Amino acid sequence: MANLAVQRDIISREIIKPSTSTPPHLSTYKLSTFDQILPGCYVPILLFYKNQAPDGSCDMKEISRILKNTLPEILNRYYPFVGKIEGNTFIDCNDTGAVFSVFCLKNKLVDILAQPDYNILEMLFPDTLPWNNSQDGNLLEVCVSFFDCGGFSIGMCISHKIADACTMQLFLNDWAAMTRQPGIELRYPHLLEESAFPPDNKFTLQELRISRGRNPVTRRFVFSPSTIANLKARVVSSSMVQNPTRVEVVTAILYRCLLKASKIDSGSLSPSTLVIAVNLRPRVVPSLPDNSIGNAVWPFMLLINEEKKMKLDVLVAEMREGLRKFFEYSKSMKGSQWFSMVQTTFTNFNSTENLCISSSWCRFPFYEADFGWGKPAWVCIPKFPLCNTIILLDSKDGDRIEAWITSEELVMSTLEGDDELLEYALLNPSVI
């Protein structure tokens, strides 16, 4: 797969505006505390679709036309996505528009999925866009790439200033439903804005800054249902946690193995902090609607400074208890208290070395995004540039977990040969 030559032709690149102008009373979207402090990078997602035509034909122009024609309709509902960020405090909803690009590749989809290549996945987006700065560009970019076999991919990049993973799947599924069933009645998204997590206008929030590290390398590890069950049994056998979740055990084994690899690289165990991104929508009082768009995610931080805490069962127990306390704490937060919490976390973030950030996108229904040509064959992300990062996604069947891990090159070399990790996970197996 590493020798696969890819030829990409850019067919078109257009600016798509909402079908109707955003009314004046909606022209200003005030960013919440979380929107302001999260990095203004493009967050990418990539969905692959097989050719569903019985005769194997694929009308690239027709598919492009349909997607392009329905995009303005969904942008009416998600109008902040086509505005412009001003001063990290609000979005000017001036209908600047979203970028819609079409690529054509002289490769078959099966070649891409047989053994995914991290560099090739990146080519299915506009150049250098994923994870890079979104402050000066359009907040939303969509790229449709057609393969020689008739399959295609939809790549989306959206500014983290306006969207988290939950927001991304809401937008994609609403757009897919509107494309698949013209005239369908959809709920309007609930815009969080500043009212949910209000900033303190007397203070200026700076964005979180995270070091990219030396030579970041991304790898994909896939956990099967049977190995996840084995991990759970390993944790349960200690009686510390009797009902571990699949995300808990996968996160724990990955973090444990990253700590071991880092210890080998540096020669000693340095204190490390596991940062787990938490979706706050169901965990605040009152809970937020499940169709809330914006950022409703914040990190829980777990310090590991002793060898004994590296044990799998201890890690899961520490995560479980820490998250329990975090959830109880979040239920009591009101109004400006969120701002104070963010300030405290920000200080801890900046003063802490050896961070490992874990974000689970599992249970978000990306695989339900059927635009009328079937559900995705595979959903993934391109390589991530920040070291010591774990992103978890479901497989299509919903039983396996795909973990995308980024670390420094020397640490990753050790991780790729870790017998304990390879007992439970396959390194970049075929999607098909």
8 Å CB contact between 184 and 22: no
Q: Which of 241, 229, 331, 227 is nearest to 278 (CA)?
A: 331
Marked catalytic residue, from 117, 160, 164, 174: 160
8 Å CB contact between 353 and 303: no
8 Å CB contact between 90 and 31: yes
Q: What is the three-class DSSP state of 333?
A: coil
Rg (CA), the chain: 22
Q: Report the distance separating Cα 48 and Cα 106, nearest Å.
A: 16
370 is known as an active-site residue:
yes
Marked catalytic residue, from 148, 200, 265, 370: 370
Q: Residue 169 is which amino acid? A: Q
160 is known as an active-site residue:
yes
8 Å CB contact between 132 and 41: yes
Q: Report the distance separating Cα 258 and Cα 262, nearest Å.
A: 6
8 Å CB contact between 157 and 141: yes
The residue behind tokens 């959206």 is 158
> What ranges make up the beta strands (E) of 238-354?
272-279, 292-293, 297-304
Residue 41, beta-bridge partner list: 133
Catalytic residues: 160, 370
